[in-house]
Each structure stands twice: as C-alpha cells, then as structure tokens.
Chains A and B, each alone.
Chain A
Amino acid sequence: MDNIAGQNNALKWAVNISVLILVIAWLIPTVGLFVSSFRDRDQITASGWWVAPFSVELTYRTRGDADPRQEGDLWIVEGNIFESAEVAAEFTSGEAQITGFGILGREPAAYAPGEEVETRDGGMLTVNADGSYVYTSEEDPGSGPRVYFAAETPPNFTLDNYRTILTSDGMDRAFINTLTVTIPATIIPILIAAFAAYALAWMDFPGRGLLIACVVGLLVVPLQLALVPLLNLHNQIGIGQSFVGIWLAHTGFGLPLAVYLLRNYMVGLPRDIIESAKVDGATDFQIFLKIILPLSFPALASFAIFQFLWTWNDLLVAKVFLPSDEASRVMTVTIADDLLGSRGGDWGILATAAFVSIAVPLLVFFTMQRYLVRGLLAGSVK
C-alpha cells in the first residue's frame, strides 16, 4: 500500500514533519519536568530548562579567605575566589569564568573583571576573570574582603532534589502509602469481577440482560455521588477514614469496568471448549478455574493495569476516604495539598515530586502498553 496512487513524496514529507511536530509538542512539557528535576535550585531560577546543557550566569557571595601577609606598610590578601570556603563546592571543575564582581550585595556584578575598586574600609580590590584576586589595605584587615561576583557556571546536574524529596517532605511515606492503597485495590476487584463476569457470559439465568445493562449504566455513575453517603456509612460501621475504607471504595468503584471488560472478553472465548468440558462432567466451578481464568489472562492483565493506574493516580477518593494526617497521605494528596503550598516556589522540588509520583505508572505503561491498548479497545462501548 506504500506506493498507491495519490501518495506522493511531498505528502509523505508533510506527514512525517507534522507527526514530528505533534510528538515534540506532546513531549515538551514532560521533558521540561524531567530536566528540571535534575537541576539545582539556583540554576532553575537563572535559566530555562531548555538551555540546561549550557552554562548559566549565577551570582555568589563569599569572602576571600587567604591569610593576609604584610609587605612594607601594606597588607595583602591574595588568592583565588573560586577556592574560598563559601563557594568552593560549586566550582570543582575549574572551568568557571568571572563575568563581573562587586562589593555590595545589591550590585553583585558592578565591575568588570580586572578593575580596581575601593572597598568600604578603604582597601583596594581586584578580581580577575580566572578568579584570582588581590586585596591591599593599609591596616591589618584581619580577614579577607567580602566579595560578590557573577560567574558563568557550568551546568550542574544533581540528584539533590531526589535526595531531599525522598528523605523529607513526607514523600517517602507517601510513596509507601500509595503502594499500600494500590495493590489490594487492584487485586481484590479482579477476583470478584471474574466470577461475576463468567456468570454473565456463560451461565443462563433470568435477569441476565438486565444485570448487564445495570453494569453498563454503573460504568458512568460520577464518583462524586458516592462520596458523602459512603463516608457516612463508613463512619457508622466504624471503618471511618482508613486504608480499609479506601480499599473497599476502590474495589466498589472499579467493579463495573472489571465486570464489563472481563465479560466482553469471556463471551468471545470459543464455545466448543466450554461445552466439551461440560460434556466431560466438569462443573461450572472447575470450568471457571481451569479453563476460563487461564484463557482470560489478557483481559485480566488489561483490567489490572487500568485499575493500578487509576488507583495510583487518584486524588479524589484518597482525599475523601483517607485521613488527612501526614502518616496516611498518598503522593497525589501530598503534592496537591502540601508541596504546592509549602514549596510553591521551589520548582526543582516540585518537579522531582511530580516525577517520583509518575515514575511507576510510566514504567508500567511502557512495559505493559500492549495490554493497556487491548483493554481500551475492549472497554469502549462499541
């Protein structure tokens, strides 16, 4: 079909280019987040993530800390500003260049490198582009001069943000909580739904059509309706806001899709196998366990992925059915309610938090995409 009439080269190019543009447009936001999560705070505020591989001009504050020595009646402090204790950690590669220096915090780069400047206590200060400085004073300065400078700083990719996020701010706890919510909430509905789906697909009984219609109807019931009555119910029977409550809630909310997906799949299984098993004397229970369940693996996997992504990514149910204290917050709640408020301006931390929270779903997505697609195709009402 590649060379059929009506397909010409120009069109092919146009298609390739427009798909490329679309893909880039779709990727840019995520790439931005990903890159930002590895940059340090100063670099993020100084330049956009799209220039992250290039050096960026940052300003620093330090004190020349070489020992003063006396020459005639002058005191001289001489050294390299990059090696002073306050900033040495930032300049380990030795490629940095001074672009300007100053003696006042509000004008950190007022003078060009090499200029000689009179400081407030009467000494003379020169800082060169390579970082070497000379300070001369008529009295014993005691210590080196206070120096502000701007330098082209090479890109600095660190894991500091990840270290911060995973050790403080409750994200480590939230990660475990998310996992705790997700796994039972994924496994339990599968079993319940599988039996029900088998009954709806292969057993004949009055009211079957009605039940299927009900399941289809319940598929679209807005979750919002369930919140208040169920929370009250949970409070009355003593579950309250707890992990047990959220497991039950996710199980209930996930069931319609599970039953629907699995029934659609099971109906398509070959009738011969099931009937010959029946002729051989297998009970429904045996047929289900030994034939239907193994054959339905692709559908089970599809639903498991859906339910996993849905419970992992959920904010609404977690906000309502889990207590709001720090010990039981999941990641989405931590980000939306806590970090966005307390760390609102700290973009590196926010990016990292977001990336930690989406890393597992992305992993699941890229490894099990096949099942996800199959589930989507089966799940949309044809």
Chain B
Amino acid sequence: MSPLVQGAITIFVGVFGCVGYFYAANLLLDKVIYPAKGPNIGRNINRANAIRPWLFLLPAILALSIYLVYPVIGSLIRSMYNRAGNEFIGLGNYTSLAGDPEFQTALINNALWALVVPAAATFFGLVVAQLTDRLSWGNIAKSLIFMPMAISFVGASLIWKFVYAGDPDIGIINAIRDGMGLDPLDPLQLPFWNNFFLMVILVWIQTGFAMVILSAALRGVPEDTIEAAIIDGAGPFRVFFRIKVPQIMGTIVVVWTTITILVLKVFDIVYTMTGGNFGTEILPSYMMSFMFRDDGRATAVAVVIMIVVLPVMIWNIRQAQKEMR
C-alpha cells in the first residue's frame, strides 16, 4: 500500500475516530450511564458533569503519558542497563560517559552553545525590534529577518555551507579573504572557533523569534513613561536602556530561556555541518552516535540532557502557576 493512501486513511481514521470517540462517549454518558431523567435526575447530571472533563481529556492524557511521561521514566531505567539491556549496571553508563573525552568536549561545547546562542539571538532580536519599531518599512525588514524561522535546520546548514565553503568562488567568506590577499581556510575545521561558526547558524534562525516577541513587548511599554523620560531630557539611548529594557525584562528572560531549551535539543546543525568532527560535538549529536548501537549509553546521554533542562522546566512551571493564580 502506498504511503500516500495510508496517510489518507490515517487522516480519515484519526479525525473521525476522534470525533466519533467524543460524540459516542458523550452520548453514552448522558443517555445510558447517567441519563438526565428518572428519579435521580439531579444526581445523575452532577455525576455526568464530574466525569465529562475526563472524557474530554482522556485521549490527550493517554498520548502524553505514552509519548512523553513513559519515555522519561523508561529512559531513566534503560540508562542503568548495559548495552544489550539484560544486565543492571547501575551508574555504569554514566561513569563510562564521564571518562570519555568526547563526552567532555560535548558537555563543554553544549555549555558554550547554551551561553552564546541565547545571548546573541536575544541581543540581535532586541536591537532589530527597537530599530524597526518606528520605521516605515519596518514590517518588511522584520519579515525578512524572521524568515529563517521557517527553514529547517538541515536547510539552514546547507545554506551556510555555501557561506563557509573553502573555495573562494563558492564561499563568500573565503572570497572576501581572497580579495584581501589571504589564503582560503575552512572555517569549520578551525579548532575551537568552528563551534562559533556553527552557532552563527542557530543565531541566524532564532533572532527572528526573539525579535517578534520582544517587538510586541516593546510596543506594550506604556507611552507615558517614555514621554516623561524624554521631557526630563533623556536621549534615545537612555530611553532604550533605562526605560524600555527594564520594563520588558520579564519577556527578555522568557525569550532567553526558550532559546536555551531549544539549543539543548538541536542536533541537526552539527550533524549536517561537521558530523561532530573537528571538536564540534554537542550532547544531542553525541547521543545520536550511540543511537541504534548502544541504547544504554544513548539513554544516559539523554538523561544528562534532561538534567540540564530540568531547572528551566521547574522555573516554567512556577511561572505558569503564578500566572494562573
């Protein structure tokens, strides 16, 4: 059966299955289990209403537990077993990871990524958001800077492969070096600095995201605070740094953490550009080198990633709870 037909059937089954489930479950609840008639009508309606939320939630809860909750626990357990999965070795995978120089490189690089990319993307996003704010063609400019958001990491990597190419007739960087009389070099093989060349790609993608959110936040800054500052004689730079930025600090933090989480998950760029060679390994790409070969080690790396993300997760939950109150 061709995958397309299979896909059409899946859409059909999925959509009608969902609608059918919700409809039938409601009908069952209202007409058969707790019918809104007879001697106990009041009690029946109350009971039906107490159960209904769970009917609505059931598919989502099922999917979330199987596809996100179970794997967290499953990975944690699996990471304590050996490669074949039949012998419990406790923290064995973790200790062998800790002894692997490749893992240490990945950890250090990941820390670099998590520091540099959110900072740079937030900074550029803020700058663009402020600069385009009162520009007549600001929306076009924003739209163009936002565009890389739509491009896959693989596509973006290919795009930047052209920029970084060693041949001065292909790579614009080496063309500029050539014009200045310098020898061509491969930016992706420069030890240590190649990490930053890879980060540029993610910054290029994520700046648009930061810009969109910060631009909305800047628009939300009350006009009277800005006017008051201008009347008091503050120049445009002071208005920006002393009045606007402090008022949108909350949003800046959100943008920063959101990009940080993303950075910790992205493996595509390193995988496509260098394959983790030349000292550019990061945790997600390091994990993929064990995928399909050693499930124990792979899950151990995944758990390490999870531990790194955990503080952000807790902070997010706290924020969400504060907001609900």
Chain A residues in the interface with B (C-beta under 8 A): 1-2, 4-7, 11, 15-16, 18-20, 22-23, 26-30, 32-33, 36, 44-50, 176-177, 179-180, 183-184, 187-189, 191-193, 195-196, 198-200, 203-205, 208-209, 211-230, 232-233, 243-244, 247-249, 251-253, 255-256, 259, 283-285, 288, 309, 312-316, 319-320, 328, 332, 335-336, 340, 347, 350-351, 353-354, 357-358, 361-362, 364-366, 369, 372-373, 376-377, 380-382
Question: How far is it, in angstroms, between the C-alpha of A180 and the C-alpha of B227 when the chains are bound?
Answer: 54
Whether a CB of chain A sits under 8 angstroms from the CB of B89 is no
* Contact among A189, A316, A353, A365 for B268, CB-based, below 8 A: A316
Minimum CB–CB distance from A295 to chain B (whole Å) comes to 17
Contact B53 A203, beta carbon cutoff 8 Å:
yes
With A and B bound together, what is the CA distance between A44 and B150 in angstroms? 26
- B298 at the binding interface (Cβ < 8 Å): yes
Find the B residue at minimum CB distance from A195. B56
Cα distance, A44 to B316, chains bound together (Å): 48
What CA separation (Å) do A219 and B3 show in the bound complex?
30
Nearest B residue (CB) for A209: B324
The residue on B at minimum CB distance from A339 is B158
- B254 contacts A380, C-beta separation under 8 Å: yes
Contact status A195-B60, CB under 8 Å: yes
The 7 closest A-B pairs by CB, nearest first: A252-B67, A229-B74, A313-B152, A365-B150, A196-B60, A199-B56, A354-B158
Whether B295 sits at the interface, judged by CB under 8 Å, is yes
Verify A222–B165 contact, CB threshold 8 A.
Answer: no
Knowing A222-B302, A252-B68 are in contact, say whether A284-B52 is a contact too (CB < 8 A).
yes
B 299-322 binary contact with A (CB < 8 Å = 1; else 0): 101110110010011001101110
Contact A19 B236 (CB under 8 A): no
| Pair A184/B147 contact, Cβ less than 8 Å | no
Instruction: For the complex, give the distance between the alpha carbons of A123 and B71 in Å.
Output: 79
Q: Which residues of A contact B118 (CB under 8 A)?
A: none
Main secondary structure of the interface of A (DSSP, over half): helix
For the complex, what is the distance from the CA of A364 to the CA of B152, rounded to whole Å? 13
Give chain B residues whose Cβ lies under 8 Å from the Cβ of A227: 71, 291, 298, 302
B50 interfacial by beta-carbon distance below 8 Å: yes
A-binding residues in B (CB < 8 A): 3-4, 6-7, 10-11, 14-15, 18-19, 22-23, 26, 30, 49-50, 52-54, 56-57, 59-61, 63-64, 66-72, 74-75, 78, 124, 127-128, 131-132, 134-135, 138, 141, 143-155, 157-163, 165, 167-170, 172, 175, 204, 207, 209, 212-213, 216, 223, 227, 230-231, 234-236, 239, 250-251, 254-255, 258, 261, 264-265, 267-268, 271-272, 284, 287-288, 291, 295, 298-299, 301-303, 305-306, 309, 312-313, 316-317, 319-321, 323-324
Using A188-B15, A221-B72, A228-B291 as known contacts, list a sample of 20 further A-B pairs with CB atoms less than 8 Å apart, ordered by residue number in A. Answer: A6-B234, A16-B135, A26-B204, A29-B160, A33-B159, A49-B170, A193-B60, A199-B57, A208-B53, A213-B317, A222-B284, A224-B306, A225-B306, A229-B78, A283-B26, A312-B152, A315-B154, A335-B158, A340-B158, A376-B212
- Number of A-B residue pairs, CB cutoff 8 Å, is 352
B75 CB, min distance to chain A CBs, angstroms:
5
| Across-interface contacts of B60 in A (CB, < 8 A) | 192-193, 195-196, 255, 259
Roughly how many angstroms separate A196 CA and B22 CA in the complex, as a whole number? 11
